[in-house]
Amino acid sequence: MFSKILKWTGATLLGLVLLVGILYGVFSFLFYRHINKTYTAEVRDIPIPEDSATVAIGRHLYEIKGCGECHGERLEGKVFVNDPALGKIAGNNLTYGKGGLPANFNNKSWLRALRHGLNAQNKTLLLMPSEEFNRLDDHDIAAIIAFCKAQPPIDQPSTPIKIGPVGKVLSVLGKVPLFAAEKIDQHQVQPALITKAPTAAYGKYLSVSCTGCHQPSLTGGPNPVPGGVAVANITASGHVGKWSKEEFIATLRTGKTPEGKQLQAKDMPWPMTAKYTDEELAALYLYLRSL
């Protein structure tokens, strides 16, 4: 009797292990199909100025778009996810030093990465938020590239990306935004220059940087990072609807809300929003209040 139970338990366990193995095989197969897909993107060439005023605008954009969170403040490259289940994910060294970008990484290569989410082989970049940068106007994207190219070379090898088993499953299920190129309209033609002024229209343009976490509707929802806190509703129907412009600006500069809550930088990246100008925050406020 006892040996029979043992036999059954053994068989059940073996069956389970096999099932999990097969399922994981299917997810692995689908994962590699996503990352091996080749895209045909027509990269529209635009002039990249080199003057110091453009480089200064690019530095500000590098800071407020959070590039440094993933590529390092000096563009030296940075590991920003390191978890055996999710994987090891690093933004590469964006300088032209040893271990950084190859010498033939030209303006078109920058535009291909930032606007199309594609690498030199025309395959998707992983976790690089190009679907947000894709909507920046020619003026802003050129300034970012001008700033990056003006930085001194740093010799530091880029860390190869390794996606762990949970990372593969969650990305195939669409729970982790890993495949940049898939979320992009590859034929989008961006405006040359949008009007930058404290208006709701400019706020809408800036709010693209908030949609990765707060959702395109900006009403919040589950956190895109597995295990993260729920993302707040920042439209007029949330707390923002009760805040004055000054309170909104103070919150995004200090992380402390008028309700007395201290937002944690690991949840809501307020050290990044702290770097927005008054005009940019005023525009964001007007847009969010209009929703």
Binding site for ligand HEC (CB under 6 A): 62, 65-67, 69-71, 89, 91-92, 94, 101, 110, 113, 119, 125-129, 133, 144, 148, 161, 209-210, 212-214, 223, 229, 231-232, 234, 238-240, 251, 257, 261, 263, 267-269, 273, 284
162 membership: H or E segment, kind and range: strand 162-163
We find the least distance from the C-beta atom of residue 187 to ligand HEC, in angstroms, to be 21
We find the least distance from the C-beta atom of residue 212 to ligand HEC, in angstroms, to be 5
What is d(CA 64, CA 41) in angstroms, rounded to the nearest whole number? 27
We find the least distance from the C-beta atom of residue 185 to ligand HEC, in angstroms, to be 18
Q: Which is nearer to ligand HEC, 94 or 169 (CB)?
A: 94
We find the least distance from the C-beta atom of residue 127 to ligand HEC, in angstroms, to be 5
CB 87, CB 167: distance < 8 Å: yes
Q: Which is nearer to ligand HEC, 66 or 97 (CB)?
A: 66
Gyration radius (Cα) of the chain, Å: 22
Q: Which is nearer to ligand HEC, 204 or 214 (CB)?
A: 214
DSSP string, 182-245: GGS-TT----S----SSSHHHHHHHTHHHHHHH-TTSS-BS-SSTTPPPBPP-STTSGGGG--H
We find the least distance from the C-beta atom of residue 122 to ligand HEC, in angstroms, to be 11
Q: Which is nearer to ligand HEC, 182 or 267 (CB)?
A: 267
Q: Which is nearer to ligand HEC, 30 or 34 (CB)?
A: 34
User: Which residues lie below 8 Å from residue 256, measured CB to CB, with a gap of 6+?
Assistant: 250, 262, 263
Strands (E), 27-105: 78-83, 87-91
